[in-house]
Amino acid sequence: ETGVTQSPTHLIKTRGQQVTLRCSSQSGHNTVSWYQQALGQGPQFIFQYYREEENGRGNFPPRFSGLQFPNYSSELNVNALELDDSALYLCASSLKTGTGQEKLFFGSGTQLSVL
């Protein structure tokens, strides 16, 4: 049990719609990262938020956007959904300490299906 919770667990949308996924960080963590994982592949880095600011972004178009709130919870928003957006979306919280490589604590993910 990581203490990271994601909602909803499953979601079905149609092409062109918009979706918002939510993540509650583990207590004491100040960083949230979002990943997209297609079936049979490794998680692909979308972006990271540190103290409410975007702190790195992977190779995803601008229709993928995010927010981090003062309590360090986070949202992932995807506009104009495409069929290829169907995937497991994972949120990971961590604590940046200024030393070493931070350890990621993942939630169980949101399974998004785009029809």
Partner 1 sequence: LAKTTQPISMDSYEGQEVNITCSHNNIATNDYITWYQQFPSQGPRFIIQGYKTKVTNEVASLFIPADRKSSTLSLPRVSLSDTAVYYCLVGGINNDMRFGAGTRLTVKP
Q: Contact residues for partner 1 (CB under 8 A)?
A: 2, 4, 33, 35, 41-45, 48, 55-56, 58, 88, 90-92, 96, 98-109, 111
Cβ closest to partner 1, residue 59 vs residue 71: 59
Whether the bond between 8 and the residue before it is cis, its omega within 30 degrees of 0, is yes
Encoded tokens for 74: 């986070």
Query: Among residues 81 and 94, whose Cβ is nearest to partner 1?
Result: 94
- In the complex, least distance from residue 12 CB atom to partner 1, rounded to whole angstroms: 16
Shortest Å, Cβ 56 to partner 1: 5
Written as one string, the DSSP assignment of 42-62 is: --EEEEEEETTEEEEE-S--T
Tokens representing 42?
Answer: 């490794």
- The strand pairing partners of 113, in sequence order, are 12
Q: For residue 98, which phi and psi values (nearest 5 degrees)? A: 90, 0
Query: Of 85 and 102, which has the nearer Cβ to partner 1?
Result: 102
CB of 4 to partner 1, least distance (A): 8
